[in-house]
Amino acid sequence: MKEWTDMGEGYSREKEIQMSVAGTALIKGIDVEDIVEALDGFYCYNLVVMHFCYALENRLEGQASFLLGDELEEVAEESLKAAKKLADRIGELDGAVTADPGRLVERSPLEEFSLPESNSEVGIILSHVLKRVRLIIGEYGAFLERVMGRDEISHRLVLGLLSEQVARESEIEAALA
C-alpha cells in the first residue's frame, strides 16, 4: 500500500518520501545525521553573522560608519542567502534547521557571540571579523574533507561557501595591510 496523504494541489506524502530518498541516495560511507548536524551548525553560524552585521552596523561610529556600513549590509545579505542554501540542503536530507534563535550561537562553530572592543576603530573591527572568518574557513575545510567522495551535493554547496569566505579573508587582509 502506498503512503499518500493529500495536502493540497501538487503535494503528496509520496512525493515527499521520494525527495528524501533522492536527497540521500548519493551519500555513501557517511551518516546522513552527521552531515545534517554539520550543515545546521553552518546554518546557525550564518544567521549569527547576519545578526552580528546588523548589530555592529547599528553601533558604528565615526570613520568606521562611513567605511564599513555598506559592507556590513552586504555581508548580512550574503549570510542570509548562505543560510537559506544550507536550510534547503538540510531539508533535502530530511533534516530540520535549528528553530530556537536562542540556540544559534551554541549550535554554530562559534564559542560565543561578541562584538569588537571598538565601534569606531576600523582595524580593531576588521581584526575581530577576520578571526571569525578564519574560524569558518577551517570548519568548512574540515567538513569538505569528511564528505569528499561521500556527499557531492553538500560538498559542492560548502565548497562554494568556502570560496566566498576565502575571498572575504583576502579583502580583510588587504584592508588591514
CATH number at residue 165: 1.20.1260.10
| Grid cell 567605511 in the structure block, residue | 67
Residue 3 is assigned to a structural domain of this protein: no
Domain span at residue 121 reads: 13-176
- Other C-beta atoms within 10 Å of 149: how many? 9
Is 97 inside a domain boundary? yes
For residue 42, being part of any structural domain is answered with yes
CB 43 within 8 A of CB 85: no
User: Could you tell me if residue 110 is inside a domain?
Assistant: yes
Among all chains, which residue has been given the C-alpha cell 548580512? 76
CA distance 174 to 23: 40
- How many domains does one find in the chain? 1
39 found inside a domain: yes
Kindly state whether residue 41 falls inside one of the protein's structural domains.
Answer: yes
Tens of pLDDT along the chain (177 residues) come to 333 333 344 434 444 444 456 667 778 899 999 999 999 999 999 999 999 999 999 999 999 999 999 999 999 999 999 999 999 999 999 999 999 999 999 999 999 999 999 999 999 999 999 999 999 999 999 999 999 999 999 999 999 999 999 999 999 999 999
Residue 119 domain flag: yes
Domain assignment present for 1: no
